């Protein structure tokens, strides 16, 4: 595979989340509500709600269908929280194409918030949207510590399409520091 991968550990993930929370607190932003975009923003939103001591709500946008294959950006589960006059911190894991964040802002503006700030752990320079807050810039494909099954399965599917053998696929996945246990779980239940 000719894709560069970035696999943050749980320790790095928490460290970057604290770095972002620290920036927000230093900037003295008054945030009324964190809105996490499900699924990618859930874990980061959960950590930030603890660090910032602010309530959290969610809604779901889906756009990826596979590794590097972007589908249509659509709201699949609506927000159930009133936002009238509130200052919002909109959270997602990565600003990749930027289309998800742009669609989320457009959607949340229908709820009449006072202000929307945006935050992602990672920002990709080719994104059409640059978040107000992000911890790092990368062009790599980011595989988060909370999605090993999804990533291993996607790698199996993509590499099988390329004609790679199971042994070649497993060797590559192990080189990314996934465990044999994670690989075996996917092979047993999903990659048949």
Q: What is the mean pLDDT of residues 16-21?
A: 98
143 has a pLDDT exceeding 80: yes
pLDDT reported for residue 64: 53
Contact indicator for 103, 116 with CB cutoff of 8 Å: no
150 has a pLDDT exceeding 70: yes
Q: What is the mean pLDDT of residues 68-91?
A: 86
pLDDT reported for residue 27: 97
Lowest-pLDDT choice from 9-23, 24-38, 39-53, 144-158: 144-158
pTM over 0.85: yes
pLDDT reported for residue 72: 73
Q: What is the mean pLDDT of residues 173-190?
A: 92
pLDDT reported for residue 191: 72
DSSP string spanning 97-141?
SSHHHHHHHHHHHTT--SEEEEEEEEE-TT-S---SEEEEE--SE
Peptide bond preceding 98 in cis form (omega within 30 of 0): no
pLDDT reported for residue 73: 80
pLDDT reported for residue 121: 97
106 has a pLDDT exceeding 80: yes
- Average pLDDT, rounded, for the chain: 92
Record the tokens describing residue 104, joined without a space. Answer: 């989320």
| pLDDT tens digits, 40-71 | 999 999 999 999 999 999 999 887 555 445 56
Question: What SS3 class is residue 81?
Answer: coil
- pLDDT category at 3 given cuts 50, 70, 90 is confident
pLDDT reported for residue 70: 54
176 has a pLDDT exceeding 60: yes
Contact indicator for 62, 76 with CB cutoff of 8 Å: yes
- High-pLDDT (> 90) share of the chain, %: 84
């Amino acid at each position: 595979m000719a894709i560069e991968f970035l696999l943050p550990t749980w320790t790095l993930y928490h460290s970057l989340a604290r770095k972002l929370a620290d920036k927000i607190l230093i900037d003295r932003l008054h945030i009324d509500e964190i809105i996490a975009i499900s699924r990618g923003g859930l874990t980061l939103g959960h950590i930030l709600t603890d660090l910032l001591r602010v309530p959290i709500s969610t809604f779901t946008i889906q756009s990826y269908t596979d590794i590097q294959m972007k589908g249509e950006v659509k709201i699949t589960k609506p927000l159930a929280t009133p936002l009238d006059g509130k200052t919002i911190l909109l959270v997602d894991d990565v600003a990749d194409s930027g289309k998800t964040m742009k669609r989320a802002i457009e959607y949340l503006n229908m709820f009449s918030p006072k202000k929307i700030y945006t935050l992602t752990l990672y920002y990709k320079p080719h994104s059409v949207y640059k978040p107000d807050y992000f911890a790092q810039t990368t062009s790599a494909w980011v595989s988060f510590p909370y999605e090993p099954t999804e990533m291993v399965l996607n790698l199996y599917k993509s590499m099988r399409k390329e004609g790679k053998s199971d042994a070649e696929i497993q060797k590559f996945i192990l080189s990314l520091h996934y465990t044999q246990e994670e690989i075996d779980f996917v092979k047993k239940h999903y990659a048949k």
